[in-house]
């Protein structure tokens, strides 16, 4: 593996590199349009065939995520409807799918299955075997996505890429052996990310199950047998909506400001020195339970349930207990959903009488949260590594051959 530091003097490309419309690339690489390196660029149906319960898988734009195709969530078509579409659009392993209409426009994923399926609102790119590797092409297009979407008009109509526009997209093309080496290196990191995603999903499921058992008293920590009691949130905590500050009052840095959905900015003052449990009380996420950090400003878009002065309530337990409650009955308003103080104050929950049992339950759940946080941190680091590798490998700054 060799590494070249591009020169910055006079913005001249370093020796062995050249300036192109897609940036500085090695001399022996070429810039080619997708039309030149694909044997076929087509798309699926523009009609809406009648989906059925089982049959041939039918994928639309919503099933194509970055580098992932959600075959499990798709609907199905009759063999007859599928044949009509498949005659012009026949995805095979190693082809690349690209969403060409709607919010996910320019999102791509590699076909990695051998069964047949049909497409709608998705373009199919068949790399010519002698010129391009599908795995390399997919990684290139993932990296180029933002520049592709920026080039689209931002008019009122929904974003759309025609097949001829897709064909004109230029990408840097190394020789085939180098394409394969780059694709393998990036696919290895994708494999790590996929494994972490699965592990996080599994841990989340385990935590949900544990919460359901421990926070309803179905499973008790060892040694606890006391009856639980039912209390209103008004009995357990002091409920209030703090003062809202406008975005123009925010400062560059300082204390985090919590709005309806987490941190929205910073302010030079804090209105809470201890961390608090809050419930979103305006907007589409109304009823969502959050926790803040210490020393923060909480706005009036969140209802604070301050239990700092309740010696019989463990705050961590209180946060976990609230997060499994269904607050929908407390939501009012047809246009803009909102929660007001009275119904939340009267809302009743069951909880252990003893502080010791509350703490024992909270410790189990907090430990699970910690394990999840470690995995999520590892996933973020791996994502950052993938971005850095793409920047190096797909521009030829670092060469694998």
**CATH number of the CATH domain containing 369:** 1.10.287.1120
Is there a single domain that holds both residue 182 and residue 81? no
Is there a single domain that holds both residue 27 and residue 166? yes
Each residue's pLDDT tens digit, 340-381: 889 999 999 999 999 999 999 999 999 999 999 999 999 999
SS3 content of the chain, % helix, strand, coil (to 5): 35, 25, 40
**CATH at residue 248:** 3.90.220.20
Query: Do the Cβ atoms of 106 and 141 come closer than 8 Å?
Result: yes
The answer as to whether 193 is a domain residue is: yes
CA–CA distance from 42 to each of 129, 134, 141, 163, 164 (Å)? 17, 15, 17, 7, 10
Give the pLDDT of residue 285: 87
The answer as to whether 42 is a domain residue is: yes
Give the pLDDT of residue 333: 74
Give the pLDDT of residue 192: 96
Residue 138 domain boundaries: 16-173
Is there a single domain that holds both residue 181 and residue 157? no
Give the pLDDT of residue 8: 46
DSSP 248: G
Is there a single domain that holds both residue 297 and residue 390? no
How many Cα atoms are found within 13 Å in the side-chain-facing hemisphere of 6? 18
211's CB contacts (< 8 A; 6+ apart) are 320, 323, 324, 365
Is there a single domain that holds both residue 255 and residue 342? yes
Is there a single domain that holds both residue 214 and residue 363? yes
The answer as to whether 4 is a domain residue is: no
Residue 393's CB: how many other CB atoms inside 10 A?
A: 23
Query: Do the Cβ atoms of 275 and 292 come closer than 8 Å?
Result: yes
End-to-end CA distance of the chain: 6
Is there a single domain that holds both residue 217 and residue 360? yes
Is there a single domain that holds both residue 29 and residue 90? yes
The answer as to whether 1 is a domain residue is: no
What is the domain count for the chain? 3
User: pLDDT under 50 in the chain at which residues?
Assistant: 7-9
Is there a single domain that holds both residue 214 and residue 307? no
């Amino acid at each position: 593996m060799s590494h070249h530091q591009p020169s910055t003097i006079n913005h001249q490309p370093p020796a062995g590199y050249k300036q192109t419309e897609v940036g500085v690339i090695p001399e022996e690489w070429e810039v080619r349009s997708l039309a030149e390196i694909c044997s076929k660029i087509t798309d699926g149906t523009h009609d809406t065939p009648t989906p059925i319960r089982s049959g041939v898988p039918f994928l639309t734009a919503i099933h194509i995520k970055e580098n992932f195709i959600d075959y499990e969530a798709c609907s199905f078509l009759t063999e007859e409807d599928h044949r009509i579409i498949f005659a012009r659009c026949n995805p095979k392993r190693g082809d690349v799918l690209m969403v060409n209409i709607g919010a996910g426009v320019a999102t791509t994923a590699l076909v990695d299955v051998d069964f047949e399926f049909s497409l709608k609102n998705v373009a199919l790119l068949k790399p010519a075997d002698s010129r391009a590797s599908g795995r390399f092409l997919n990684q290139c297009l993932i990296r180029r996505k933002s520049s592709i979407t920026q080039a689209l008009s931002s008019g009122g109509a929904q974003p759309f890429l025609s097949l001829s526009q897709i064909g004109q997209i230029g990408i840097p093309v190394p020789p085939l052996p180098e394409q394969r080496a780059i694709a393998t290196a990036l696919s290895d990191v994708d494999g790590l990310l996929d494994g972490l995603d699965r592990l996080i999903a599994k841990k989340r499921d385990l935590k949900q199950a544990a919460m359901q058992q421990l926070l309803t008293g179905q499973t008790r920590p060892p040694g606890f047998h006391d009856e639980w009691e039912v209390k209103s949130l008004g009995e357990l905590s002091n409920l209030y909506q703090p003062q809202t500050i406008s975005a123009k009052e925010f400062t560059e840095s300082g204390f985090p400001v919590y709005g309806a959905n987490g941190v929205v900015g910073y302010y030079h003052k804090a209105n809470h020195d201890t961390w608090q449990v809050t419930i979103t009380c305006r907007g589409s996420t109304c009823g969502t339970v959050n926790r803040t950090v210490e020393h923060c400003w909480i706005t009036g878009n969140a209802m604070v349930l301050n239990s700092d002065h309740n010696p019989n309530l463990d705050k961590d337990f209180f946060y976990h207990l609230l997060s499994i409650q269904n607050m929908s009955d407390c939501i009012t308003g047809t246009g803009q959903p909102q929660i007001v103080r009275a119904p939340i104050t009267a809302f009743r929950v069951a909880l252990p009488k003893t502080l010791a049992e509350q703490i024992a339950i909270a410790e189990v759940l907090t430990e699970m949260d910690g394990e999840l946080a470690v995995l999520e941190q590892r996933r973020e680091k791996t994502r950052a590594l993938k971005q850095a590798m793409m920047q190096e490998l797909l521009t030829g700054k670092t060469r694998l051959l």
